[in-house]
Amino acid sequence: MHADTPVDLIILSGFLGSGKTTLLLQYLNDAGTADTGVIVNEVGEIGVDGVIVADGSDATPMTLLANGCVCCAMRSSLVDTVVALLDAKRPAGHGPLRRIILETSGVSRPGPIIAALAEPELASRGLRLAVVSTYDCVTGALRAEQFDEASAQLAAAQRIVLTKRDLASEQDIARHRAVIAGLNPLADVVDETERGQAARRAFEDTTPTRDAGVAQAIAALRAAGRAGADQDRPHPRIHVLTAALAEGAAWEELALWLDDLSAFCGERLLRVKAVLRVSDCEDPILIQSVGTTFSAPRRLRASEVPDKLFVLITRDLDADAINAAVDHPAVRVLAPARTEASFRVTSNFDGVALTPQ
């Protein structure tokens, strides 16, 4: 299928019991979601959530991937399933497919899934990729037994949806929002008391402006700089860091540093987002990763980018550890400081492209 309007491919992540299936069913049961396909991935012989979704959404084309984690053992099945949904004949009276929602298992990390989807067959379809993660307002998100997976899911998200909100006090909500800001200042937090509105924002708000995302990131970084101490961060194992690119550095130097960063950090690298100017490109370039999976760098048709934005989110790695291990004159990771910076970025960025690695 090749439609004039790109199909949104939405990875729905969130830890076990955080309300992913409830959020998805809320959306599917609303009017006007016949243009949505669903893929449910579960670990285990019996796909319980898949049965629940199928029972609650008769008009939705759905495929169940069970007995394996989609981020590792089932990559080819996932790609084949997405292609099948894209090429399937639409029922009479239905418009074109507009979105595919992949509900992942609670222990899946988005980075390897994105890498699995970066196939030439899918890249040619012009899909728009987004990651949505659920945040449980009753239990919180980062208990010790689920920390590694949950932190990867939340740091990868473009949108984080507060679930079970009606069971938490406003004081609890404020505390949870502070935790999210410390985990992923780049995310849009979906905080709605009306569940239908929350579901619509989760799955339909797929093209936020870059300016809004940058403003959120800088506000959080300013707050982190003023706090200046590990104990003031929402979680001591998560580090939201900035980095500086040396004046006159070329793309090859930056790319080498990013490769070394990925090799050193591995799963401890949760997110990279940067808007930078390199010496061998006239335009500013956008660089971003989920985990160690980087999308292709993109030139921004920006009228003016007066400042640089370079944000890293890591787990259990601070600026000193990264600089010691990834020693290169082109880039220096900065420890949180008590100074405020001013950033303004204007671009036409409209999402993450699926590009072969």
Calculate the average pLDDT of the chain: 76
More reliable by pLDDT, 132 or 346: 132
Tens digits of per-residue pLDDT, 286-342? 888 999 999 888 887 655 455 577 889 999 999 999 999 999 999 999 977 543 333
- Domain boundaries 211-353, corresponding CATH code: 3.30.1220.10
What percent of the chain has a predicted confidence (pLDDT) above 90? 32
- Domain edges within the chain: 8-208, 211-353
Looking at residue 163, its pLDDT comes to: 94
CATH H superfamily, domain 8-208: P-loop containing nucleotide triphosphate hydrolases (3.40.50.300)
* DSSP one-letter string for 194-218: SHHHHHHHHHH-----HHHHHHHHH
Cα(228)–Cα(58) distance, rounded to whole angstroms?
52
Task: List, in order, residues 6 or more apart from 353 with CB less than 8 Å away.
Answer: 123, 126, 128, 129, 295, 296, 298
Looking at residue 32, its pLDDT comes to: 63
Half-sphere exposure of 50 (CA within 13 A, CB side): 19
Pairing of strands 238-245, 309-315: antiparallel
Contact 189, 177 (CB under 8 A): yes
Tens digits of per-residue pLDDT, 26-62? 888 876 677 888 888 754 333 334 433 444 445 555 5
Contact 114, 10 (CB under 8 A): no
Predicted confidence (pLDDT) at residue 104 exceeds the cutoff of 60: yes
Question: Residue 220: pLDDT band by 50, 70, 90 thresholds?
Answer: very low
Predicted confidence (pLDDT) at residue 268 exceeds the cutoff of 80: yes
Predicted confidence (pLDDT) at residue 356 exceeds the cutoff of 70: no
Looking at residue 307, its pLDDT comes to: 59
- Polymer length of the chain: 357
Lowest-confidence pick of 41-50, 75-84, 90-99, 301-310: 41-50
Looking at residue 230, its pLDDT comes to: 40
Q: If you ran DSSP here, which 8-state letter would residue 166 be given?
A: G
Tens digits of per-residue pLDDT, 147-169? 888 889 999 999 999 999 999 99
Q: Where are the beta strands (DSSP E) in the chain?
A: 8-13, 36-41, 62-65, 99-103, 128-136, 159-163, 188-190, 238-245, 269-276, 285-290, 293-294, 298-299, 309-315, 331-334, 352-353
**pTM of the predicted protein model:** 0.77
Task: List, in order, residues 6 or more apart from 84 with CB less than 8 Å away.
Answer: 63
Predicted confidence (pLDDT) at residue 183 exceeds the cutoff of 70: yes
Q: If you ran DSSP here, which 8-state letter would residue 286 be given?
A: E
Cα(253)–Cα(94) distance, rounded to whole angstroms?
50
